Amino acid sequence: MAGTARTTQVRARERARTRLADTLAAQREREKANEDDLAAFFAPDDQITSAAAARDAALADIARTHDAAASDAHQGQQNCVHQLHHRGLKVDDIATLTGWSTTAIRKALRARPTTNTTTTNGGGGDVTGDGDLVEGSVA
């Protein structure tokens, strides 16, 4: 009977080890499946970050292009204000004609005109090439 009890105890331990091994194997499979699912979950984060960076770069390029075009257009308007003033129009008259405030007209007149803007009078004005309008050079 002592041999049977010993055999029973050995078999019980073997069964327990087998069950524990099966349980641990199932747990490892679940953890592996969880790891795979989490990896698939986090993978798009890099795509989202990359897409956001591309969007931000594109918007920055668009903003730079817009700012440059707006600056060029505004400089052209300032040049026209200089031309009008050079032809003898007063600040109030220019403001009335353009719709700008007298403050904006004065600010435009304080700004240095550029030489690369072609005006309706043939583009005259800067005959010396130094950016200064020369008296009598505008038709």
**pTM of the predicted protein model:** 0.50
Measured CA angle at 21 (ends 15, 26), to 5 deg: 125
Q: Which amino acid is at 132?
A: D
Q: Which range, of 2-16, 71-85, 93-107, averages the lowest pLDDT?
A: 2-16
The rounded percent of the chain whose pLDDT value lies above 90 is 73
Residue 2 has a pLDDT of 56
**pLDDT above 70 as % of the chain:** 80
Predicted pLDDT at 120:
46
Torsion angle defined by CA atoms of residues 122, 100, 132 and 118, in that order, rounded to the nearest 10 degrees: -20
Q: Count Cβ atoms below 10 Å from residue 78 Cβ, excluding itself.
A: 21
Rounded Cα–Cα distance for residues 63 and 38 (Å): 38
Mean pLDDT (whole number) for 60-68: 97
Give dist(CA 117, CA 71) in Å, integer.
13
By CB neighbour count within 10 A (0-12 exposed, 13-18 middle, 19+ buried), where does 125 fall? Answer: buried
Q: Is the pLDDT of residue 85 over 60?
A: yes
